Copies of this chain bind each other. A is one copy, B any other.
């Protein structure tokens, strides 16, 4: 059951992808030990291949490795999630500003469509769909910025915080808060206002950080069910 779709292709690349998927999808929970022999059997790859994959995932920040003590799924604390969001704030505002300078007419149309789709998803109460569009928007802005260094860093950080992001998206009322922030980013970029775009990105990430803290506080005191 666990070999969802990635164990038929072989090779290190696919093993990396398979383990990453398992972690991101929550199949492997935080702090779970990742024993090389077990993974080797589960993904029908040699131990060396698994080992290489674990090294790669370690540098992506998804796995923790200690000498002679093996690897485990890295657990990102609230504190770390906030740190990650702060770095994202710095880098996404940079990307938003650059995107506002470089965006083409075609891309303006594309972004506006994305914005409309997001608005529709929120109206329809489609939380999962909105979450996907959300990621799509952030990725597209990074791509348009042409800042590949920032893009790579942000992509890495996304993997680490995806669990917190998902939890956030599920909180009632959250989409209604983030939607106008996203639309503000889109409008600033489409209007080629780089300073405003950066500021809108900052505002959005500040809101994310606040929501992260609030969500954690709420879940730490589950006395209202």
Contact of A94 with B83 in the complex, beta carbons under 8 Å:
no
Asked, given contacts A59-B59, A60-B59, A91-B90, whether A149 binds B80 with beta carbons under 8 Å apart, the answer is yes
Asked, given contacts A13-B67, A80-B149, whether A93 binds B94 with beta carbons under 8 Å apart, the answer is no
Copies in the complex: 2
Contact of A83 with B51 in the complex, beta carbons under 8 Å:
no
Q: How large is the interface on A (under 10, 10 to 19, 20 to 34, 35 or more residues)?
A: 20 to 34
A interface: dominant SS = helix
Residues 155 to 205 of chain A near chain B (Cβ within 8 Å): 157
CB distance from A51 to the nearest CB of B (A): 7
Chain B residues within 8 Å of A80, by CB: 148-149
A76-117 interface mask toward B, CB cutoff 8 Å, 1 = contact, 0 = none?
Answer: 000010011011011101100000000000000000000000
The residues of A with any CB-CB pair to B shorter than 8 Å are: 13, 48, 51-52, 55-56, 59-60, 67, 80, 83-84, 86-87, 89-91, 93-94, 147-150, 153, 157
Per a CB cutoff under 8 Å, which of B48, B86, B148, B157 touches A83? B148
